[in-house]
Every structure is written in C-alpha cells, then in structure tokens.
C-alpha cells in the first residue's frame, strides 16, 4: 500500500500567478481522497504535481516513502517512472488506436509479454464491462464508454495510486451517478489509493473517505466528509459545501436585529468578552424551522429567531426550499413540506443554538 | 390502407421542408417541382452549371485539343482540321523529340516535386512543433515571420539565387559571387539543385501552417497519458504524436506536391540556362512555339497528376475520419519545456528565418541599387533602376518608378487580382451556402468536389485549358483570349477553394437558426440572403477576398498562359525583364509585388483582427 506526502508545496505560474501556496497533505494508503474546490483553486495543479507532469517550486513530494520531487534536494522522478495512473477530464484516449490498443499501450511500455498482455486487457476491460468493444475506435464510443476505457487503460498497469482529474464532469447526470457508484465499488475491490479532483461537492461527499477543500491554492480543511459538513473549519468551507449553501449572518454592521443576535450568541456561548472577534454566524438551511410571525412569541433561550418575509417557495420533490428575505439579505430554509407558508407571508426563522456555527473575523471557526 | 398511408406522409415531409431539405420525397417530378420553388435549390443548380462550365468544360476542351488536328498542322498531317488524330500523343510520348518535349520534363517534375515535398514537410513539421508545442521564447514573432516566404512571389528565391550565384552562362549583369571572385559551377547556379532549394524556401510555410493548425488541435493530455504509462519522449513521438498527425501530414504532402508540380517561375528562371525543363516550362515553351496539340497533351498530364492527388486526398480524408481528434471539455495544451536547449533552438530558428527572409530580400534589394551587383565601390551604387528617366544600362528603359508602363501594368494587376478576388469571394460564399444548406443532396456533393478541384490542380495547366476554351468564340461566348475578363475569370476560379472552404466553416458555425428566425418573422429568401446571411458572413467573406487578392497579386503560373503583349500583370512583367536580361529591373518588380502584398496583408490583419495567414494553409 502506498501513501502520498505533500509537504509545504508551492507552485507559481509566472510572478503573479500563485497556483498552490504552502500546501501540505497526507494521503493515507488505500484512502479515497477528494481535492475539492472552485475552478482555479489549484487542485488540478496539485494532482499534476503528484503525477510529475508539473514540478514543484519548493516543498517535497514523497510517494510510498520515496522522495519523488524536491528542488531543495535536487531530486525529480519523471512521470514515466512514477508508475501511477492518471485519468483526465477529456479522457485523452488516443484516437488512432482501438480500445484494446489503448489499454495495451502501458503494458507494452512495461515490456509485459504478449500472452500476459492479452490476459490483463481482457481482465481490465471485463472489470469495466467494455470487453465487447475491444476493436472499436474511441470516436465510435459514447462519453461514458470512453470514460471506462480511460479508466481501464490506467488500471491495466495496476498502479498503487490512481489520480483522477474531474473524470465525471463530461458525463450527463444519470451516467455520472452510475459511474460514481462504480468508482466507489472499484476502490473497495482493488483497494488502491485514489486522489480525485472535483469541483462538485456532492461527488466529493459521496465518494471520498477524506476531503481536502482548497481555495486560492491553500488547504482550507482536510477531514472526512461528515466532519467537513458538520464542522466546517472556515466560512469558505461552510458556504462551499452544501446546497443550498449555509446561511450566513455577518456582523460587520452590528446594529438592530443583528446586534441583538450577536449579543444573544455571545452570551450563550460564553463569548461575551470576545464579542468583537465574532465575524459572522452560519446555520444550515435544514436546521431552520419556520414559524408564522403571528404565532405567539415565546421567549426561548435555546434558539435564535430572525423575522423575515417569504420571497419564494421552491418545491424540489423530496423537499421544499423556501427563500426568506430579511432586510436586504436572503436566507434559505429546507423543509420536508412548505408547512402552509405562502409567498409574501411574514415569518420567523427559528434556529436551535446547537446548530449555529460561529466564525471569527478572519473566517476561522470559533 | 397503403394509399392512405402514403397520403399521410406528404404533409409530414412538408414540415421538414424547412431550410435543410435533408430528405427527398419519392418521385422525381414532385421533387423537381418542389426544388424549383426553393431558391436555395435554384442557386445550387445554377452554381453547379456555372462551375461545370468554368472548371469541367475547359478540361474536356483540353482533351479534344489533344486529339484533334489543328489548322496549323492540317497540311503537314494531310488531314482535315478537327479530325481525329493521335499524332500529338505520339509526338509527346514516342517520337524522337518526346524526351525533350515531355518525358524528361515529366521525370524532372516528379523528381523535384518529390524532393521538395519531403524537405518542406520535414522543415514545416519541425518548425510547427517548435513554435506550437514547446515553450520556445519569441515564438509569436517567429510564427508571423515564418509566413513571409509564402507571401513573396514564388520565383523571388530563384531571382535572389540568380543574383547571387549566376555565372557567365546567362546574359546580363553578373552574379554577386562571381564579381567577388568565386567561380560558380553550372550545377550550383542552375538546374535541379537550386530549384529544390528555392522552392523549399518558398513552400515550407504551407507545411508549417498546416502542421501548426493540427498541433494546436491536439490535446496535450494525449501525450501526458502516454508519459504516465511509462513512455519516453521518443516513444511518445513515435506511437502517439506521429499517428495522430498523420492526416495532416498526408494533406500537407499532397498540397506541396501539387504546388511544386504547378509552379512555373522558379524552374523557368533556374532551369532555362541549362535546359532543365519541367512540365510547366515545357508547357510554356510549346505554347510559345505554337504547338497547341502537344501543349494540350502536357497540360492534360499535369491535370491528371492533379486529379490523382484530388482522388488521394478524398481517400485519405475518408480513411482518417474514423479517428478524428475528439475535442472536448478539459483539453489542455501545455508547452513542452525546452530547458537547456532553449537558446540553441532559438539560435537555429532565428538563423533559419534570417536565411529565408533577410538574405534573399536583401540580395534582391541590393541588386536594384548597384550597376554591377557585388562590386562594393561607391561609384557602383545607383538609384537609376528606380528613378532614372532613362537608364544608362539599356536605352529606352526608364527607372521603375518613372516608367508609365509599370503604373499601367500595376493597375492591371490590381484589377485582375481585385475583381477576381471579389468575384471569388462572393461565388465562394454562395457555393459554401449551397453546400451547407443542401447537405447530403447530390448537388451539394458535386459542388463540394468541383469547387475543391483547383486546389490541387496545377495553375499553369488550368491556364492552358482556359487558353484553349476561350481562344475562339464558341456559340454565344466570344473569344476571350487576350482580354482582362478572361484573366479575372481564371483568377476567381483558381482561388475558389480558398473562399469556399472558409465559407463552409463559417456557415456551419452560423447554423440555420438566424435564418429560420428571419423566416418566422416573414423574410423571403432574398431578404434573408442580403440582410442576414451575407452580413453575418461579412468577416469571413472579407478576409477570404483579401486572401485571394494577395495570392492573386503574386500569381504567375496561371496568368503566364493568358498574358499577351499589351495585357500584362506585374508578375509577367518581371519575367519579361528576366527574358530581356534586365535582372535589376526584374528584381525591382518582385520587390514592388512583395511590398504590395505585405502592406495589404498587414492592413487586412488590422481590419479583420484575425491571423489572416492561417487561411493560406486551408
């Protein structure tokens, strides 16, 4: 089993383009790690540095206990000698080779003999249910099939580490769901270490054993999916993960209802002396319950209340998203039913205190 | 039951009878009746007829010309004018003079075309790879410079070569190196070696542009996947890059071969002193010595080579369609890091471009300001070839810029290239429109094939065919030989592949929606054409016209057959000066042409904001 250590990696493309900034990560053997972040956050660059297609400017890349890239020690192992697998977003199948020849290529490069090659090709094509397409050219395959061939091509060389660069983003929704479950079961069966790049948080949450959330070249949080969701380390993670995103109340202007809210939160969390450090609070849409404004105002200390007006009711099928406007801000509520509220109705957002996330002025969790 | 079914089908098909007209109803009459009502079909049919007359009929006439007795030969053959004869073929293939007239030129042509094809392909491939796939510094600058040699008239290199390497064998001012005391052997001065070198310098930009475009379309992740799987650079080049590039390589080979076969100026300038003939020069000489029958045979041979190339091209395209490079999201193009070889490569590219641009243009210019080129003393420098009322070298010859004839000829050039290009642009747009809108119909396929034909057919052979078709009046069409109109017509047909192709591309990009929207709002066909289609295509039309214009200004092989005394263009004028051993004047005209094409290209690029040179590669 192979693990990956990235230590204080820095990568720039030109003087003003810092792609990856002091990034450290340990990928445990056999884990399925997702690099998650908006486009341009440096996740693909990180993956390419693991593969060796890109060299680090400073820092150390260690794979399986062996240093692969370290400018300080003047060590660099070329990608062709790293023996790992990498599947691109565009699949990058060689258009002039059949499915079979595409899969065979890596084995030829490793000088596996003919008989063995045939066996492995059949095996990996079978694994991905592409056996019957052996003689086809990539142009004759659908997107999902091309995707499978791209995977089979990399799995054939039995890499300990498999790197996937947004492999599902070119597929339609139904196929994406199917490939997701296939990837997960492949990982369980083969047990290799997988690093997966995506900007789709749902994909990351459902596939990964660990998620590394990246923003502007930095690591925001590295944890298992449930921790990421329930205890976001920064306000960026809190708003990036989850759909609709976490509702945020900012205290840059702490007057009126915001001031009262800040007071209440500070009181109940014993932060009264550090009140000015609190930058914002957040709560997930599903943690909110809606109460009609006409309902009796019962003073509870275990929850916060915000008064607003319903702007729209958006049923999605299994649940209903209700958008509520409070002054100039818009908040979302997710509930199993609309609970009888209508457009334009005055309501109260009620959030239990234990569901409130508090962030300081730098955006770090308090 | 069956009957009612059939009746039910009709309205369904009518619904589909929108713009695309993909399907055709059963029954030829119904189909025809419908087509005549549809202006797109009428346009398609009219264009097909016009192109048949302008492209296919000349070839048929050429065939007839080669097997019919000509009036000048009637007495000698003791046959009536116009009766069937194989004498011209015999003379070209089996007679004692066959070797001089046809066989040796054919061999020479194939030989130099093959070598030029190899050299240009190799140079173009390497240069395109360096300038597209690597992080070579200054590659933008190099790219724009690399196109220049193709914007020069084709025989500029030959002219520069002669100016440098000429020996006593040719009349007129001596060569620069000879003046400096070097003895130049014939084999270096004239014949196949310099022809190959000069044409390689002229044609490599074609290969460069085609390969450059192809390289740009290749996803660099194709190479990276191979690298991840353990392939080294050589293996990637061998197993991935070369096979993926094969379609581009094939079309480049075909195009350079065709252009090398059809070129006239270079073999004429460099071959004549040692009687080294190619098909194009032999064709020209048979025309000069009034042997129309043999001329037709030679022209036919050239057209046959062209037709073979067209057939090969069709085959190659079909063969490679199954693995078109797939585009998709997430494509990347990351340049290869050259590292230590960076400055070395820079030096090589810079040196190469210096040799093919600065040296020849410098030599040409230098020769026009020296009485004896190569003799570097102050008294030898002169501006008389440009400005003198009467040059001291030859009586009754005035400096280029004082010569009223130059102005007249220049104006003819602009008229021929300009009107030809505009006609070519509009016809090309209409042909492109018909091809895209009548997709999958036979008319569309026919238009596509025939409009593409001049692309790989040698220009001089085409010129010969036009000469034959329009030498005498036929039916309602008067004899056009020796008229401006004929030159313009030939020009607009010759560059039709250029404008048609760009029109097909932009028409396909436009889609049917803009036109359908206008249709819904009640616009008729003509309104849609003038208010929607042409305005949307404006940019592509404009750059197509300018591209054809620039090409037309430097065209020689086509017009050399159609020019007559009193109706000359700049290119033929330059050749005329060469014939009269007025090297400096000839070189001066080349520089005038080059200046015109450069300026026009620069203006065009400004106006259209496109990299206009890319169109040359097609």
Residue among A13, A68, A80 with most chain B CBs within 10 A, to mutate: A80
Judge: B324–A51 Cβ closer than 8 Å, yes or no.
Answer: no
CA A59, CA A70: separation in Å to the nearest integer? 6
Residue A293 has pLDDT above 80, yes or no: no
B65: tokens are 């010309």
Quote the pLDDT of residue B398: 77
Judge: B230–A154 Cβ closer than 8 Å, yes or no.
Answer: no
H or E segment at A253?
none
pLDDT in tens, B536-569: 888 788 888 888 898 899 888 888 988 888 888 9
Judge: B243–A96 Cβ closer than 8 Å, yes or no.
Answer: yes
Q: For chain B, give the percent of residues with pLDDT over 70.
A: 90
- With respect to residue B331, please indicate whether it lies within any of the assigned structural domains: no
In 3D space, the residue among B471, B91, B101 whose CA is nearest the CA of residue B283 turns out to be B101
Count of other CB atoms within 10 angstroms of residue B490: 28
Is residue A167 less than 8 Å (CB to CB) from chain B? Answer: no
Quote the pLDDT of residue B182: 87
Residue B355 has pLDDT above 90, yes or no: yes
> How far, in Å, are A26, A280, A335 from residue A231 at the CA level?
20, 15, 21
- With respect to residue B608, please indicate whether it lies within any of the assigned structural domains: yes
CA A236, CA A243: separation in Å to the nearest integer? 14
**Strand pairing category for A346-352 and A247-250:** unpaired
Residue among A51, A92, A147, A171 with most chain B CBs within 10 A, to mutate: A92
- With respect to residue B162, please indicate whether it lies within any of the assigned structural domains: no
In 3D space, the residue among B147, B124, B142 whose CA is nearest the CA of residue B604 turns out to be B147
B332, closest residue in chain A (CA to CA): A90
Residue among B214, B219, B223, B230 with most chain A CBs within 10 A, to mutate: B230
As beta bridge partners, residue A307 has A348
pLDDT in tens, A309-340: 999 999 988 899 999 999 888 999 998 887 78
A93, closest residue in chain B (CA to CA): B222
**B355-358: long-range contacts (C-beta < 8 A, 24 or more apart)?**
B356/B149, B356/B201, B356/B204, B357/B145, B357/B148, B357/B149
CA B592, CA B590: separation in Å to the nearest integer? 5
Q: Which residues neighbour A242 within 8 Å (Cβ) at sequence distance 6 or greater?
A: A201, A229, A284, A285
Judge: B229–A157 Cβ closer than 8 Å, yes or no.
Answer: yes
> How far, in Å, are A175, B173, B270, B284 from residue B372 at the CA level?
78, 6, 20, 31
Contact list, A151 vs chain B (CB under 8 Å): none
Q: Helices H, strands E: what count in chain B?
A: 35, 0
Residue B161 has pLDDT above 80, yes or no: yes
Instruction: Taking the CA atoms of B100, B101, B106 and B111 in sequence, report the sign of the dihedral they define.
Output: positive
Provide the CA B587 distance to its chain's centre, in angstroms. Answer: 22
The model's confidence at residue B10, banded by pLDDT at 50, 70 and 90, is very low
H or E segment at B79?
none
> How far, in Å, are A85, A283, B318, B331 from residue A141 at the CA level?
22, 45, 19, 18
Burial level of A108, CB count in 10 A (0-12/13-18/19+)? middle
What backbone phi and psi angles, to 5 degrees, belong to A156? -60, -35
pLDDT in tens, A243-263: 889 999 988 877 888 888 888
- With respect to residue B188, please indicate whether it lies within any of the assigned structural domains: no
Residue B486 maps to which CATH number? 1.10.3720.10
Quote the pLDDT of residue B616: 47
Quote the pLDDT of residue A324: 93
CA B133, CA B135: separation in Å to the nearest integer? 7
B235: tokens are 């293996």
- With respect to residue B16, please indicate whether it lies within any of the assigned structural domains: yes
In 3D space, the residue among B201, B215, B199 whose CA is nearest the CA of residue B125 turns out to be B215
> How far, in Å, are A6, A50, A79, A250, B216 from residue A70 at the CA level?
10, 12, 14, 43, 32
Domain count, chain B: 1
- With respect to residue B51, please indicate whether it lies within any of the assigned structural domains: yes
Burial level of B76, CB count in 10 A (0-12/13-18/19+)? exposed
CA of B244 vs chain A CAs: smallest distance (Å): 6
CA A332, CA A76: separation in Å to the nearest integer? 50
Residue among A45, A78, A93, A95 with most chain B CBs within 10 A, to mutate: A95
- With respect to residue B23, please indicate whether it lies within any of the assigned structural domains: yes
- With respect to residue B574, please indicate whether it lies within any of the assigned structural domains: yes
Is residue A91 less than 8 Å (CB to CB) from chain B? Answer: yes
Q: How much is the average pLDDT of B396-411?
A: 83
Q: Which residues neighbour A181 within 8 Å (Cβ) at sequence distance 6 or greater?
A: none
- Within 13 Å and on the Cβ side, how many CA atoms surround B41? 18
Q: How much is the average pLDDT of B56-74?
A: 86
CA B547, CA B495: separation in Å to the nearest integer? 9
What backbone phi and psi angles, to 5 degrees, belong to A357? -105, 130
Range of the domain at B33: 10-85+382-613
CA B290, CA B279: separation in Å to the nearest integer? 16
What residue spans of B263-380 are helical by DSSP H? Answer: 265-271, 279-288, 292-321, 342-353, 359-368
Residue B391 has pLDDT above 60, yes or no: yes
Q: Which residue in B229, B244, B322 is closest to A139 by CB distance?
A: B322
Quote the pLDDT of residue B550: 86
The model's confidence at residue B310, banded by pLDDT at 50, 70 and 90, is confident
Q: Is B134 helix (H, G, I), strand (E, B) or coil?
A: strand
CA of B449 vs chain A CAs: smallest distance (Å): 26
Are B296 and B468 spatial neighbours (Cβ–Cβ below 8 Å)?
Answer: yes
In 3D space, the residue among B311, B350, B355, B59 whose CA is nearest the CA of residue B201 turns out to be B355
Q: Which residues neighbour B79 within 8 Å (Cβ) at sequence distance 6 or greater?
A: B69, B85
* Interface confidence (ipTM) of the complex: 0.80
Q: What is the pTM of this model?
A: 0.81
- Rounded mean pLDDT of chain B? 84
Length of chain A: 366
Specify the residue for token string 């039709």: B496
CA B448, CA B437: separation in Å to the nearest integer? 12
The model's confidence at residue B14, banded by pLDDT at 50, 70 and 90, is very low
H or E segment at A301?
none
CA B598, CA B590: separation in Å to the nearest integer? 12
Q: Is the peptide bond before A244 cis (omega within 30 degrees of 0)?
A: yes
B392: tokens are 């001291």
Contact list, B230 vs chain A (CB under 8 Å): 80-81, 83, 106, 109-110, 157
Burial level of B512, CB count in 10 A (0-12/13-18/19+)? middle
Provide the CA B380 distance to its chain's centre, in angstroms. Answer: 39
pLDDT in tens, A89-99: 888 888 888 99
């Amino acid at each position: 089993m192979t693990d990956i250590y990235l230590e204080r990696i820095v990568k720039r493309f030109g003087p003003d383009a810092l792609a990856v900034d002091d990034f450290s990560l340990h990928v445990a053997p056999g884990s399925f790690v997702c690099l998650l972040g908006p486009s341009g956050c440096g996740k693909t660059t990180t993956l390419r540095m693991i593969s060796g297609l890109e060299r680090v400017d400073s820092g150390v890349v260690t794979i399986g206990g062996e240093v692969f890239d370290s400018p300080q020690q003047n060590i660099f192992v070329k990608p062709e000698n790293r023996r790992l697998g990498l599947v691109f977003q565009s699949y990058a199948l060689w258009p002039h080779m059949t499915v079979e020849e595409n899969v065979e290529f890596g084995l030829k490069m490793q000088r596996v003999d003919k008989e063995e090659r045939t066996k492995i090709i059949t095996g990996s094509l079978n694994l991905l249910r592409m056996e019957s397409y052996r003689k086809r050219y990539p142009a004759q395959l659908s997107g999902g099939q091309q995707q499978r061939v791209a995977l089979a091509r990399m799995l054939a060389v039995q890499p300990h580490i498999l790197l996937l660069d947004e492999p599902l983003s070119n597929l339609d929704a139904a196929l994406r769901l199917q490939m997701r479950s296939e990837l997960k079961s492949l990982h369980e069966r083969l047990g290799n270490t997988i690093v997966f790049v995506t900007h789709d948080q749902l994909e990351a949450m459902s596939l990964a054993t660990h998620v590394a959330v990246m923003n502007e070249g930095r690591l925001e949080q590295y944890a298992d999916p449930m921790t990421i969701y329930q205890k976001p380390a920064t306000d960026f993670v809190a708003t990036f993960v989850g759909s609709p995103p976490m509702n945020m109340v900012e205290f840059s202007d702490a007057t009126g209802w915001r001031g009262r809210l800040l007071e209440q939160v500070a009181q109940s969390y014993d932060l009264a002396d550090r009140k000015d450090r609190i930058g914002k609070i957040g709560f997930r849409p599903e943690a909110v319950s809606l109460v009609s404004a006409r309902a009796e105002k019962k003073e509870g200390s275990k929850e916060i209340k915000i008064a607003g007006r319903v702007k729209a009711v958006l049923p999605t099928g299994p649940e209903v998203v209700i958008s509520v406007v409070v002054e100039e801000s818009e908040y979302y509520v997710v509930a199993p039913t609309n609970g009888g509220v209508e457009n334009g109705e005055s309501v109260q957002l009620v959030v239990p205190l234990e569901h409130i996330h508090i962030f300081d002025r730098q955006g770090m969790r308090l | 039951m069956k009957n009612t079914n059939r009746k039910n089908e009709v309205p369904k098909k009518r619904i589909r009878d929108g713009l695309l007209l993909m399907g055709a109803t059963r029954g030829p009459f119904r189909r025809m009746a419908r087509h005549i009502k549809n202006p797109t079909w009428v346009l398609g049919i009219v264009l097909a007829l016009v192109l048949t007359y302008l492209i296919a009929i000349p070839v048929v006439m050429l065939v007839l010309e080669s097997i019919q007795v000509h009036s000048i030969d009637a007495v000698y053959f003791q046959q009536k004018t116009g009766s069937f004869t194989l004498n011209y073929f015999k003379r070209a293939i089996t007679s004692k003079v066959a070797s001089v007239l046809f066989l040796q030129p054919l061999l020479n042509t194939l030989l130099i075309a093959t070598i030029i094809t190899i050299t240009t392909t190799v140079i173009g491939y390497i240069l395109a790879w360096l300038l597209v796939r690597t992080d070579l510094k200054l590659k933008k600058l190099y790219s724009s410079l690399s196109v220049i040699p193709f914007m020069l008239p084709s025989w500029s290199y030959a002219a520069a070569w002669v100016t440098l390497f000429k020996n006593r064998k040719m009349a007129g001012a001596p060569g620069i190196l000879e003046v400096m005391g070097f003895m130049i052997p014939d084999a270096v001065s004239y014949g196949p070696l310099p022809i190959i070198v000069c044409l390689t310098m002229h044609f490599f930009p074609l290969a460069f542009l085609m390969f450059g475009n192809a390289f740009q379309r290749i996803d660099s992740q194709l190479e990276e996947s191979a690298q991840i799987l353990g392939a080294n650079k050589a293996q990637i080049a061998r197993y991935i890059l070369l096979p993926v590039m094969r379609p581009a390589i094939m079309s480049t080979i075909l195009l350079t071969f065709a252009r090398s076969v059809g070129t006239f100026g270079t073999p004429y300038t460099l071959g004549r002193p040692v009687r080294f003939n190619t098909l194009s020069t032999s064709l020209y000489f048979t025309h000069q010595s009034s042997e129309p029958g043999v001329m037709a045979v030679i022209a036919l041979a050239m057209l046959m080579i062209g037709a073979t190339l067209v057939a090969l091209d069709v085959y190659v395209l079909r063969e490679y369609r199954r693995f078109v490079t797939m585009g998709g999201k997430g494509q990347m193009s990351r340049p290869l890091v050259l590292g230590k070889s960076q400055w070395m490569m820079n030096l090589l590219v810079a040196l190469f471009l210096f040799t093919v641009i600065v040296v020849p243009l410098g030599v040409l210019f230098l020769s026009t300001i020296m009485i004896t080129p190569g003799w570097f003393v102050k008294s030898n420098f002169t501006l008389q070839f440009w400005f003198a009322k009467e040059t001291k070298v030859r009586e009754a010859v005035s400096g280029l810029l004082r010569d009223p004839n130059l102005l007249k000829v220049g104006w003819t050039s602009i008229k021929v290239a300009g009107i030809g290009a505009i006609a070519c642009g509009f016809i090309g747009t209409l042909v492109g429109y018909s091809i895209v809108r009548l997709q999958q119909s036979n008319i569309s396929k026919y238009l596509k094939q025939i409009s593409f034909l001049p692309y790989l057919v040698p220009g001089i052979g085409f010129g010969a065919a036009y000469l034959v078709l329009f030498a005498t009046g036929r039916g309602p069409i008067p004899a056009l030989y020796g008229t401006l109109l004929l030159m313009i017509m030939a020009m607009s047909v010759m560059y039709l592949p250029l404008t048609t192709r760009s029109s097909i591309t932009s028409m396909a990009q436009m889609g049917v929606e803009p036109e359908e929207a206008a249709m819904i709002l009640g616009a008729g066909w003509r309104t849609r054409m003038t208010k929607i289609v042409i305005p949307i295509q404006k940019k592509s039309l404009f750059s197509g016209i300018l591209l054809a214009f620039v090409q037309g200004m430097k065209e020689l092989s086509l017009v050399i057959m159609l020019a007559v005394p009193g109706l000359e263009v700049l290119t033929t004028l330059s050749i005329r000066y060469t014939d009269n051993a007025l090297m400096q004047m000839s070189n001066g005209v080349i520089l005038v042409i080059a200046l015109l094409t450069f300026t026009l290209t620069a203006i065009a690029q400004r106006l259209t904001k496109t990299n206009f040179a890319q169109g040359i590669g097609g």
